[in-house]
C-alpha cells in the first residue's frame, strides 16, 4: 500500500501515579503479545521482551542487529524468579543480593532448562540482574515472568540514557517506549561471573571490584574478557557503545600536543570536540570543550548524553582525556576504551 503512514513508536510518560500505572499496564500487554518495548532502567534504557517467549527474544536480536552469540541479561524481581532461571544458586548470590540488589549488578550462573539458547547465545550460563528501577520492577512483577533486555540501541551504537536517544535509533522499529527521564547510573551493569571456580568481573560498571571484594574476598584480580565464557565469538566485540565520529584518548600535556594529535587524525581544532575530566586551559577555537565531573558516578551519568550531543554536532573527531586509574573508574574507562576501539 502506497499511503500507509510510516510506523510510529508510541511514547508514554510516567510523571504522575496514574500515568505510571497506565504505562506499566501497556508495557505488560505489549510484552504478553510477544512484542518488545523500550523501558527505563537505572543503568540505561532497555529493549524488553518476555524472557520465556523465545520468539519475542529473537525480535530483540532482529531489531538491534545484534549477533546471536551476544547473550542477553535476564531481569528478575525476586529470588524465587532468579531460582527459576538459574540451574544452581551459590550461597554468594544471597550475600551479594543483600548488598547490591535491587541494583546495577548482573551475575552469571549456570542456566535452568527454562532459559532458551536464544538468551544465552547457546552457552550453558545465564546472566541475571534484579533491577532497582521502580518502573522496571513493576513491569516484571505484573508480567509474572523474567524480562530479557539489552540496551535499547542498534548493535554497536551508543546506549540510550534518555527517550530522545532511544527514538533517535529505534523510532518506528518498536511499538512503545516509556519515558522516566534520564537514567540515574548511565552506564550498563557490572557483570560478575559466578559460574567458574573463582568469581570474576566480565564487564566493569559502577559497582566496583573493591565494593564487590568486600563481600567476595576471593574475587579475581583484574577484568576477565567477557569472551571467556561466551567464547563462540572470540574478539568480535572490542568496539561497542560507540559514537559515529572517531574518538581518541589522550593524556593531557599541553594544548599544542592536542592540536598535533587532532592533525594526526585529519582534523583541525574547529572540527574537533575535546572532552576532559578536569578544566584545562584551552585557547584554540575547538568545536567544543566538555568538562565531565571529576567523580566516577557523575561522570558515568553524563557520558552517553555528552557523546550523543557531540554526535549531533557532527565533529570530525572527538578527543577524550584518559580517565583516572582506580577500580571506581573502571566502568567509565571500559566504555571509553570501547568507544575508541578501531572500527572495521
Ligand atoms: P547488554 O545487554 O548489551 O548490556 O549486554 C549483555 C552483556 O552481558 C553481554 O555482552 C555479556 O557481556 C554479558 N553476558 C550476558 N550473558 C552472559 C553469559 N551467559 N555469560 C557471560 N556474559 C554474559
Ligand atoms: Mg548494549
How far is the centre of ligand 2, averaged over its atoms, from the C-alpha of 259 (Å)?
Answer: 33
Residue 14 pLDDT > 70, yes or no?
yes
- In which residue ranges of the chain is CATH 3.40.50 found? 247-339
User: What's the pLDDT score for residue 342?
Assistant: 80
Torsion of CA 76, 81, 83, 87, to 10 degrees: -70
Please tell me the pTM assigned to this model. 0.93
Q: Compute the distance between CA of residue 344 and CA of residue 342 in angstroms, rounded to an integer.
A: 7
pLDDT bucket at 233, cuts 50 / 70 / 90: very low
pLDDT tens for 305-343 read: 999 999 999 999 999 999 999 999 999 999 999 999 887
Contact 96, 216 (CB under 8 A): yes
- Of the given ranges (82-86, 268-272, 338-342), which has the lowest mean pLDDT? 338-342
Task: Select from 172, 107, 113, 341 the least CA-distant residue to 241.
Answer: 341
Task: Select from 188, 75, 51 the least CA-distant residue to 136.
Answer: 75
Mean pLDDT over 262-270 rounds to 97
Mean pLDDT over 123-152 rounds to 98
User: What's the pLDDT score for residue 90?
Assistant: 96
Hey, which CATH number is domain 10-215, 3.50.4.10, 3.40.50.300, 3.40.50.360, 3.90.870.10?
A: 3.90.870.10
How far is the centre of ligand 2, averaged over its atoms, from the C-alpha of 155 (Å)?
Answer: 7
Contact 240, 338 (CB under 8 A): yes
Question: Per-residue DSSP letters for 276-327?
Answer: ESS-----S--SEEEE--SSHHHHHHHHHHHHHHHHHT--SEEEEEPPP-SG
Q: Compute the distance between CA of residue 152 and CA of residue 60 in angstroms, rounded to an integer.
A: 9
User: What's the pLDDT score for residue 239?
Assistant: 60
- In which residue ranges of the chain is CATH 3.90.870.10 found? 10-215
Residue 159 pLDDT > 50, yes or no?
yes
Residue 40 pLDDT > 60, yes or no?
yes
How far is the centre of ligand 2, averaged over its atoms, from the C-alpha of 221 (Å)?
Answer: 25
Residues touching ligand 1 (Cβ under 6 Å) are 70-73, 108, 120, 123, 125-127, 150-151, 188, 191, 202-203, 226, 229-230
Residue 253 pLDDT > 50, yes or no?
yes
Q: Compute the distance between CA of residue 176 and CA of residue 238 in angstroms, rounded to an integer.
A: 30
Contact 335, 206 (CB under 8 A): no
Cis upstream peptide for 102 (omega within 30°): yes
Strand partners, 276: 291
Q: Compute the distance between CA of residue 36 and CA of residue 189 in angstroms, rounded to an integer.
A: 21
Q: Compute the distance between CA of residue 82 and CA of residue 88 in angstroms, rounded to an integer.
A: 10
How far is the centre of ligand 2, averaged over its atoms, from the C-alpha of 287 (Å)?
Answer: 29
* Cβ count near 9 (within 10 Å): 17
Give nearest CA residue, ligand 1 atom 4: 150
Architecture (CATH level 2) of domain 247-339: 3-Layer(aba) Sandwich (3.40)
- Helix H or strand E encompassing 30: helix 17-32
**The C-alpha cell that represents 218 in the structure block:** 576471593
**The C-alpha cell that represents 181 in the structure block:** 527521564
Shortest-distance atom of ligand 1 to CA 125:
19
SS3 257: helix
How buried is residue 251: exposed, middle or buried, by Cβ count under 10 Å (0-12/13-18/19+)? exposed
pLDDT bucket at 244, cuts 50 / 70 / 90: confident
User: What's the pLDDT score for residue 119?
Assistant: 97
Q: Compute the distance between CA of residue 57 and CA of residue 190 in angstroms, rounded to an integer.
A: 22
pLDDT above 90 covers a percentage of the chain that reads 88
Best of 36, 108, 194 for a ligand 1 pocket test (most atoms within 8 Å of beta carbon): 108
Strand partners, 274: 289, 319
Amino acid at each position: 500500500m502506497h499511503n500507509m503512514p510510516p510506523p510510529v513508536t508510541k511514547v508514554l510518560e510516567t510523571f504522575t501515579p496514574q500515568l505510571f500505572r497506565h504505562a506499566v499496564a501497556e508495557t505488560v500487554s505489549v510484552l504478553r503479545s510477544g512484542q518488545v518495548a523500550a523501558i527505563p532502567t537505572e543503568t540505561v534504557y532497555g529493549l524488553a521482551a518476555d524472557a520465556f517467549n523465545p520468539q519475542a527474544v529473537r525480535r530483540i536480536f532482529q531489531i538491534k542487529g545484534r549477533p546471536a552469540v551476544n547473550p542477553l541479561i535476564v531481569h528478575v524481581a525476586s529470588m524465587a524468579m532468579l531460582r527459576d532461571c538459574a540451574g544452581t544458586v551459590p550461597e554468594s548470590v544471597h550475600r551479594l543480593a543483600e548488598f547490591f540488589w535491587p541494583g546495577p549488578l548482573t551475575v552469571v550462573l549456570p542456566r535452568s532448562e527454562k532459559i532458551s539458547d536464544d538468551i544465552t547465545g547457546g552457552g550453558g550460563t545465564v546472566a541475571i540482574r534484579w533491577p532497582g528501577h521502580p518502573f522496571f520492577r513493576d513491569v516484571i512483577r505484573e508480567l509474572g515472568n523474567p524480562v530479557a533486555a539489552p540496551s535499547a540501541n542498534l548493535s554497536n551504537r551508543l546506549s540510550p540514557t534518555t527517550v530522545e536517544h532511544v527514538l533517535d535509533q529505534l523510532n518506528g522499529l518498536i511499538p512503545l517506549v516509556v519515558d522516566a527521564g534520564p537514567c540515574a547510573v548511565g552506564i550498563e551493569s557490572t557483570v560478575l561471573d559466578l559460574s567458574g571456580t573463582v568469581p570474576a568481573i566480565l564487564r566493569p560498571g559502577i559497582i566496583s571490584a573493591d565494593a564487590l571484594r568486600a563481600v567476595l574476598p576471593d574475587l579475581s584480580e583484574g577484568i576477565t574478557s567477557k569472551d571467556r565464557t561466551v567464547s563462540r565469538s572470540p574478539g568480535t566485540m572490542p568496539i561497542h557503545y560507540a559514537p559515529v565520529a572517531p574518538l581518541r584518548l589522550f593524556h593531557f600535556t599541553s594544548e599544542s600536543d592536542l592540536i598535533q594529535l587532532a592533525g594526526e587524525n585529519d582534523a583541525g581544532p574547529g572540527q574537533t570536540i575535546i572532552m576532559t575530566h578536569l578544566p584545562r586551559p584551552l585557547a584554540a577555537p575547538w568545536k567544543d570543550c566538555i568538562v565531565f565531573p571529576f567523580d566516577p558516578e557523575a561522570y558515568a551519568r553524563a557520558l552517553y548524553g555528552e557523546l550523543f550531543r557531540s554526535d549531533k554536532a557532527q565533529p570530525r573527531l572527538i578527543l577524550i582525556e584518559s580517565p583516572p586509574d582506580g577500580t571506581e573508574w573502571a566502568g567509565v574507562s571500559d566504555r571509553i576504551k570501547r568507544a575508541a576501539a578501531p572500527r572495521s
